[in-house]
Amino acid sequence: MALKITVEDINDVDEAFRELYTEKDGAFVLDVEGVDNHPDVANLRNAYNAEKTKRQDQGDKLRDALEKLEAKPKPTVKDDAEMIRLREALEAERDEWKTKAGDLEKRVYGLTVESQLDDAIRAAGINEVAFQKAAKVLLKEGVKVVDGKPIFDTDMGPVGLSDYVKRWASSDGAAFVSKPAGGGAGGSKGGAKLSRDQFAQMGDRERIKLFKSDPETFRQLSG
């Protein structure tokens, strides 16, 4: 039995393993050693730290250069032009590293959120691999991060990722939890083709029906 990294309710964990969890920010986190050594996380974290260091170095170089230029007595037109040129060059380089660091931050965040969403989908009883992928497509766009925690906005207020996926799996996503019937749901009627705009306007139940009847069209429109 695999242990979840995070759970909203400690009672969801087998009693024999509860002592391995620590409460943090309203959730319970598995106390695991060596998480930072996971290849995906470690590589992204190292790359991010490297970009962050380079960005700091560029800021230091810019300050030092400006201090030297500004300390010159009675700057000439040539000095002013050189200072402007240097400022623009260093600021452009700084912005480039800042963009790269931001992209790496998003990748680290995305890895974390996707892992939690995958766990929640499996925990909700969606066991077919194809259904797991389809459920992830339907749910991922609704995930938001508030105070460092993934949530879903609902009419009743924000709901934690795990709880929301459980509710979804018992309502709109119920077809993914049950075993597919004999020959599938029957194929698309009349060979009609949907546009991306029509797909975007469909609700979860309609998208699930499309996935079960025509998975190839679903993958094309959701990609």
List CB contacts of 137: < 8 A, sequence separation 6 or more.
222
- From the number of C-beta atoms within 10 Å of its C-beta (0-12, 13-18, 19+), residue 179 rates as exposed
Give residue 141's Cα distance to chain centre: 9
CA 141 – CA 87 distance, rounded (Å): 40
Q: Which of 39-48, 108-117, 135-144, 192-201 has the highest mean pLDDT?
A: 135-144
Q: DSSP of 89-127, one letter per residue?
A: HHHHHHHHHHHHHHHHHHHHHHHHHHHHHHHHHHHTT--
Q: What pLDDT, in 10s, does the model give residues 102-134?
A: 777 677 666 767 788 888 898 888 888 888 888
**Burial track 41-71 (b if 16+ CB lie within 10 A, e otherwise):** eeebeebbeebbebbeebeeebeebeeebee
Phi, psi (rounded to 5 degrees) for 7: -135, 150
Strand partners, 179: none
pTM of the model as a whole: 0.40
Tell me the C-alpha distance between 118 and 2, whole Å.
Answer: 13
Q: Half-sphere exposure of 88 toward its Cβ, with a 13 Å CA cutoff?
A: 6
What pLDDT is stored for residue 22 in this prediction?
Answer: 87
Distance between CA 104 and CA 27 in Å, rounded? 26
Say if residue 35's pLDDT is above 50: yes
> Of 178, 173, 183, nearest to 209 (Cα)?
173
Please give the mean pLDDT across all residues of the chain.
Answer: 78
Rounded distance between C-alpha atoms, residue 38 and residue 36, angstroms: 6
* Residue matched to tokens 């970009």: 51
Q: Which residues in 86-118 are b (16+ Cβ under 10 Å) and which e?
A: beeebeeebeebbebbeebeeeeeeebeeebbe
Question: Which pLDDT band holds residue 180 (cuts at 50, 70, 90)?
Answer: very low
Assess whether pLDDT exceeds 50 at residue 189. no
Q: Which residues contact 95 (CB under 8 A, 6 or more apart)?
A: none
